[in-house]
Amino acid sequence: MARKPGQSATRTAKCASSYAEAVASELLPWFRRHQRELPWRQSADPYRVWLSEIMLQQTQVVTVIPYFERFVARFPTVTDLAQANEQDVLRLWEGLGYYRRARQLLAAAKVVASEHEGAFPNTLDGLQGLPGIGRYTAGAIASIAYDLPAPILEANTVRLLARLGAIAGDPTSADVQARLWKLAEDLLPHKRCGEFNQALMELGSLVCTPREPKCGECPLRELCAAFQQGRQDELPTPKPKQVFESVREAAVIVEHCGRVYLRQCGAGERWAGLWDFARFAVSAKRGRAFQEELTSKVREQAGLDVQRFEKLTTLKHGVTRFRITLDCYRAECTRPARLKPHSQWVKPTELADMPLSTTGRKLARLLVAQRVESRE
Ligand code: SF4
């Protein structure tokens, strides 16, 4: 905790250590009583810890559970994952979002298999040398799998620690991050660091919730500066409000001889590595100008001439700061030219096995349902 004016460094260190002991002595028994049974808690295998931590970034536990179970059933070890092809990994990841995580997972598995003989590094530096593993994930693996004294800081612990230490200011700013990391480090016990870190995350997730924290049932309320000061509702300081931008796009299912056109999204695109129908931003609102824009943009993107647009649906979705209205059509290809690289014609029945963009999957389901209906 912060040193009070006139307090010596030695005394501050002693206070900090007795404060940390008090936190651990309240928190660990609470965790043993209240922790949820989660599939990744069944063992301290670094592969499972790593996989769960990557999946849990920006994603809720309840969403992650089935993905985690499918993933470890298909790739039980890091060596199995290292041998996978990217399309299979992306298909298993489909719907979890932030697909860069999946590509980096595969890249890191390959490094573990080829440079570490299939064993995860057991140092923070070694772990942080792997693709996609930053300070937080390295700390989680090091502490949970190897019981190393490594602090962690993720969404739940940021909130909990900001309240525990009454740390105000934008939690994403460098100075607040530094203070939070310092507190996370000061609180670590000498042993059972992995259990302690999991307990912090669990308390943040179950009790010290973003809105209306359940301070009445919190084992740390006597030790919590925000609770003592009545500031638990104002901490952590809210991030500056996100300004959203509205965007209009169109997706076109181009059909030819019972197959549909797909293109693979390139590096730097929203769904890099996944497949999608022809899709682009549109500016014309309706009528002839809109039809002409669709035709010319399909030609530009896919190199295909199309006609007879049929409106299927409008999907609304959000990606980062964009609020997207996506008008979806099907159209006939009139002149199947040679396809550009990273594109192909596929049968609608093959779509189920391909990793598709989020809206691509919705459209694929719609297309298959329409074909079933039209046969009935
Ligand atoms: Fe969070 Fe309230 Fe517990 Fe403080 S007392 S850590 S604000 S739940």
Find where tokens 């300081």 sit: 237
Residue 160 in contact with ligand 1 by CB distance below 6 A: yes
User: Could you tell me if residue 58 is left (phi over 0), alpha (psi between -120 and 50 degrees) or otherwise beta?
Assistant: left
Q: Do 333 and 214 belong together in one domain?
A: no
Task: Check residues 62 and 338 and name the one with the higher pLDDT.
Answer: 62
Q: Do 274 and 344 belong together in one domain?
A: yes
Q: Do 106 and 183 belong together in one domain?
A: yes
Indicate which CATH number applies to the domain containing 166: 1.10.340.30
Residue 253 · residue 339 · CB < 8 Å? no
In a domain, 9, yes or no: no
Average pLDDT of span 233-248 = 92
In a domain, 177, yes or no: yes
Q: Do 326 and 273 belong together in one domain?
A: yes
**236: cis peptide before it, omega within 30°?**
yes
Q: Do 356 and 282 belong together in one domain?
A: yes
Can you tell me the distance from the alpha carbon of 340 to that of 346, in angstroms, rounded to the nearest whole number? 14
Choose the catalytic residue: 26, 37, 53, 217.
53
Nearest CA to ligand 1 atom 1: 208
Clarify whether 94 is annotated catalytic.
Answer: no
Give me the half-sphere count of Cα atoms (radius 13 Å) on the Cβ side of residue 52. Answer: 22
Q: Do 313 and 225 belong together in one domain?
A: no
Can you tell me the distance from the alpha carbon of 221 to that of 228, in angstroms, rounded to the nearest whole number? 8
The pTM is what?
A: 0.85
Is the pLDDT score of 255 beyond 60? yes
Task: Check residues 318 and 140 and name the one with the higher pLDDT.
Answer: 140
Domain boundary among 170, 196, 229: 229
In a domain, 214, yes or no: yes
pLDDT tens-digit map of 89-116:
999 999 998 899 999 999 999 999 999 9
Can you tell me the distance from the alpha carbon of 305 to that of 310, in angstroms, rounded to the nearest whole number? 15
Domain span holding position 288: 245-375
Q: Do 72 and 205 belong together in one domain?
A: yes
Q: Do 136 and 223 belong together in one domain?
A: yes
Query: In terms of Cα–Cα distance, which of 43, 117, 42, 135 is closest to 78?
Result: 117
Q: Do 104 and 225 belong together in one domain?
A: yes
What is the atom index within ligand 1 of the atom nearest the CA of 235? 7
Q: Do 320 and 224 belong together in one domain?
A: no
The preferred substitution site among 200, 232, 234 for testing ligand 1, maximizing ligand atoms within 8 Å of CB, is 232
pLDDT tens-digit map of 145-181:
999 999 999 999 999 999 999 999 999 999 999 999 9
Average pLDDT of span 253-282 = 94
Task: Check residues 270 and 295 and name the one with the higher pLDDT.
Answer: 295
Q: What percent of the chain has pLDDT over 90?
A: 86
Nearest CA to ligand 1 atom 7: 232
Ligand 1 centre and the CA of 115: distance in Å? 44
Per-residue confidence (pLDDT) for residue 6, from 0 to 100: 38
Residue 224 in contact with ligand 1 by CB distance below 6 A: yes
Q: Do 208 and 289 belong together in one domain?
A: no
In a domain, 134, yes or no: yes
Give just the sign of the alpha carbon dihedral 67, 73, 76, 80: negative
In a domain, 353, yes or no: yes
Q: Do 364 and 269 belong together in one domain?
A: yes
Instruction: Count structural domains, the chain.
Output: 2
Which residues are CB-neighbours of 125 under 8 A, at least 6 positions away? none
Is the pLDDT score of 5 beyond 70? no
pLDDT tens-digit map of 189-222:
999 999 999 999 999 999 999 999 999 999 999 9
Residue 105 · residue 81 · CB < 8 Å? yes
Can you tell me the distance from the alpha carbon of 208 to that of 219, in angstroms, rounded to the nearest whole number? 10
